[in-house]
Structure 1
């Protein structure tokens, strides 16, 4: 059964762009394009240097909004329903939350190589590995 609502997380990488292209070519349904801005806080390596509301945080959100706008412009064909969303949080958790909250029944995302000590992470990337392992819907990883 084909999906009725596909979620495509974008992070600005070529693989994420390929994932969007794959979703648009393969599925004829509503699409939500999601970009997640990771908050800069004390748990991150630069946390001690950046103050809350730092210019880099607003630049990250502006970049995310540009990515989503570009994706929306690219998908504005015919009467296809496309929703562009920018959220803040942990990427994997935010993607999984969006699946539940937005009635998504398929995720199409890019995969990235990760830590070579773990085969799954090396093949898919940390975020993709988490989403594949925890999503209650079908996940297609584009490599």
Structure 2
């Protein structure tokens, strides 16, 4: 039985759909939304920090504040409609790796993630967090598109 659902959340329409599904289907369970700061894929990384450590710290703090804004929007815009109180988490690293690590740390039973639903060859060529989670997770992964 599912008791704890982890939803990777970046504020995109796909992550919003995943969260809405989780709230609708598992609203009486614990739902944690996770924002992952990935300096390799974050659009602000290239302009956000340089060589000085304080610039990295400032950029990372900005990303954490961004996550809190996303969590507020997720709570007010989605979870409140289902009467769900979300738990939140922020991780720093590669997205799929951090989602799997967070699932273990939080004791999640299920991961719900949005996906573009691309054809298999395109997913293989482009890479996909959802695809990585499906392949690597020991937990069930529900993909929403």
Q: Which has the higher contact order (CA 8 A, sep 6+)?
A: 2
- Give the 3-state SS of the residue equivalent to 1:39 in structure 2: coil
The corresponding residue for 2:130 is: 128
Pick from 126, 133, 144 the counterpart of residue 142 of structure 1.
144
Q: Distance in 2 between matches of 1:139 and 1:75?
A: 20
User: What is the CA–CA distance in structure 1 between the aligned matches of 2:120 and 2:16, rounded to whole Å?
Assistant: 27
The residue that corresponds to 1:60 in the other structure is: 63
Structure-1 residue corresponding to 2:36: 36
Partners in 2 of 1:117 and 1:75 — Cα distance? 32
State the distance in 2 between where 1:117 and 1:140 align.
17
Alignment partner of 1:13 is 2:16: no
CA drift at 1:60 = 2.7
Q: Distance in 2 between matches of 1:128 and 1:64?
A: 20
CA distance in 1, matches of 2:60, 2:121: 31
Pair 1:128–1:5, CA change in 2 (3 A): same
**Gap regions ≥5 residues in structure 1:** none
Q: Gapped runs of 5+ residues in structure 2?
A: none
Q: Which residue of 2 aligns with 1:4?
A: 3
TM-score, normalised via structure 2 length: 0.76
Aligned residues: 135
Q: Higher helix fraction: Structure 1 or Structure 2?
A: 2
Q: Pick from 105, 108, 112 the counterpart of residue 101 of structure 1.
A: 105
- How far 1:81 moved relative to its partner? 5.2
